[in-house]
Structure 1
């Protein structure tokens, strides 16, 4: 059986050790970015194991390019908190100034009092700008003195693939377009992306050329958990797509694939290094495809529940925006995702009320891949209540499965339908 259907099997311990000692270990861009999201211990353990295997590592040019393209965004983090602080203050300045214009000559609100009041608000705005400016300064410093990048440079010296010529890239993009049309993995689930939609296919072609020139065992480490990379069963990844294994075999490669956390857990035993359970948990949360997979699958589930819906991903302009806006017959629903290793607190979602003001909605669903504190849940419910918005919070233990989210979304629609979009409702 194994000889006839080897593409469905995971490597034995002996085969795995052979990969780590004589094969090629390929790191995707999301793996290169993962250390920026880790604490000191998890980062140290990750680099320690990879340092032990440095002679086997190889980076496709496409992966390195994506790393440098996305690195500033990963270092900078999200801007929702700053947006949530700044916009109500600037709105307040406009409203108060307009109100002051109606009070000219008022015996209590003198010009001197007016200046004092405005100065306090402007001081608050300046404080937020200093916070944001400090963040920008820290970003600039981090980009100039980047300890993570320095470690990668040491480990990956001489391990980078060659840049394809412009002619080769154009030809590969034409091939990628046809592969996507025929649903040939990897990458076809990115076909609607506006930027770098052929990135996964180009990376795969980089790797195919590498193995064609030097056949042997290949281990691809990628945190992209979409179904155009991994086989899925009951919401869990169970190995690489068999098409990838078969295609790599045509150029002499014995292919296998893992997420970073799974790789570190198994490789640590081979190289006799330590990686703690706490670090593995933190590393597993760096999978950049987790939220994207949830979004893609949730869109599908919502379409099954409500056939006539419009789903969009708003771009934040004047403040925090939800991850998804879903327009249904019952009204507009905003959906926000949280993928934190630690419990969600009220501080993590203190921007939601400003979001409700920026994006009119009738229902709101907060989805968390981990625990949400009772105070945070109450914060969401109370903020929504002040805006007469139906709201639900859902925790999902298996955050690759959309079932719990879909059920909560359906319950939210029923709540909106039962009480009326703009009528009183209860939780």
Structure 2
């Protein structure tokens, strides 16, 4: 039998629909235009993770990306939320540090030959020793070049080539912020967390920058309200509070996001794209797009590995769930009661393989049968 809900919980659930879909005007009458219909005359907003990608790319790739940004900038179609600029400032040195380590790790060491008397008088050993000396001399030259490059990276500070590129396109005119005050942002974050309204409610358990997604979203809405234009938001994140999920992956943007932007922009379209999709839409060469896809895959793998390292023991997660008011003794699907020998399992709503984490908002408590059934549908 399904778990019984209280009247208050049932009312909250119904009110959440009302909060998510404030207006019903677009539900049956909304016609969404194809991206190809408006890509040449839309606003493009970039997320922090997209700004950081060029630190991992070839010069040829960056040059092609720069051409796209230049075209958008000249047509006044390129925008950056101030919060994104600040996140970039907080994270770009980490990218340089990773690059510095990668270069330093390229130092080579020429191993000494075995000190065995029976080998030293053989012609083969003498030949090998001559070749080793040549290799050692070449390695000294090579390691010297590695050291110079590493020193160059260390001296870049805030003047690295990526920042130099962005300085051509971003300024006080297109680095923008929403017009809401801090009290509004705080109350709006609480409202969205309570009713699980996109975006940002999945960040409610984060230790820092929990309001980041909402601040960026409010800026996007503000851009739409001021410019009344179709908009592309380019981000490597495909979180379940922004995207509907299917088969363990992002399927489509949340309808409430699309309609909220339509209301703010007087009926204009919103598209959410990852960087490779964005570049494809702007006809960048296949080679560059493939390089970006490889970088995106590396980003995804690193995020999964980071989440695995950050996973907490089951007992700690259950304790936090209980403190937050969640029932950890009944399956959230069928209502099965586990009793003292708690055999219920932790299910990640956004899978760890998709970047999900152990935040309370991303966890459901399920019995083994419902857990298996849930994963068979993913």
TM-score, reference length from structure 2? 0.56
* Residue matched to 2:89: 68
8 Å Cα contact 1:235-1:400 kept in structure 2: yes
Partners of 1:401 and 1:192 lie apart in 2 by: 15
* Structure 1 residue 294, shift from structure 2 partner: 7.1
**Residues 1:258 and 2:270 aligned together:** no
Partners of 1:290 and 1:180 lie apart in 2 by: 28
Distance verdict in 2 for CA 1:220–1:81, change over 3 Å = closer
* Residue matched to 1:58: 79
Which consecutive unaligned segments of at least 5 residues does structure 1 have?
A: 85-132, 312-397, 403-427
Which consecutive unaligned segments of at least 5 residues does structure 2 have?
A: 1-25, 106-146, 319-351, 357-378
Partners of 1:401 and 1:59 lie apart in 2 by: 24
Matching residue within 174, 178, 186 for 1:173: 186
* Residue matched to 1:160: 174
Distance verdict in 2 for CA 1:45–1:17, change over 3 Å = farther
* Structure 1 residue 43, shift from structure 2 partner: 2.1
* Residue matched to 2:134: none
* Structure 1 residue 4, shift from structure 2 partner: 5.8
Q: Alignment partner of 2:285: what SS?
A: coil
Partners of 2:30 and 2:148 lie apart in 1 by: 51
Distance verdict in 2 for CA 1:238–1:46, change over 3 Å = farther
Partners of 2:192 and 2:99 lie apart in 1 by: 34
Distance verdict in 2 for CA 1:236–1:263, change over 3 Å = same
* Structure 1 residue 204, shift from structure 2 partner: 0.4
Alignment of structure 1 residues 13-162 onto 2, 5 Å: 15-18=35-38, 20-54=39-73, 55=75, 56-77=77-98, 138=152, 140-157=154-171, 159-162=173-176
8 Å Cα contact 1:225-1:237 kept in structure 2: yes
1:64-110 CA-partner distances (Å, limit 9, x unpaired):
1111121111211289999x9xxxxxxxxxxxxxxxxxxxxxxxxxx
Q: Alignment partner of 2:209: what SS?
A: coil
Partners of 1:57 and 1:286 lie apart in 2 by: 26
C-alpha RMSD of matched pairs (Å): 4.1
Matching residue within 274, 278, 289 for 2:290: 278
Partners of 2:31 and 2:256 lie apart in 1 by: 10
8 Å Cα contact 1:225-1:293 kept in structure 2: no
* Residue matched to 1:239: 252
* Structure 1 residue 231, shift from structure 2 partner: 2.2
1:126-168 CA-partner distances (Å, limit 9, x unpaired):
xxxxxxx999965542224311111112123455243467x81
> Which is bigger in relative contact order (C-alpha 8 A, separation at least 6)?
2
* Residue matched to 1:113: none
**Residues 1:195 and 2:214 aligned together:** no
8 Å Cα contact 1:223-1:260 kept in structure 2: yes
8 Å Cα contact 1:51-1:155 kept in structure 2: yes
8 Å Cα contact 1:173-1:202 kept in structure 2: no
Partners of 2:223 and 2:258 lie apart in 1 by: 15
* Structure 1 residue 260, shift from structure 2 partner: 0.5
The alignment of Structure 1 onto Structure 2 pairs a total of residues equal to 255
8 Å Cα contact 1:229-1:240 kept in structure 2: yes
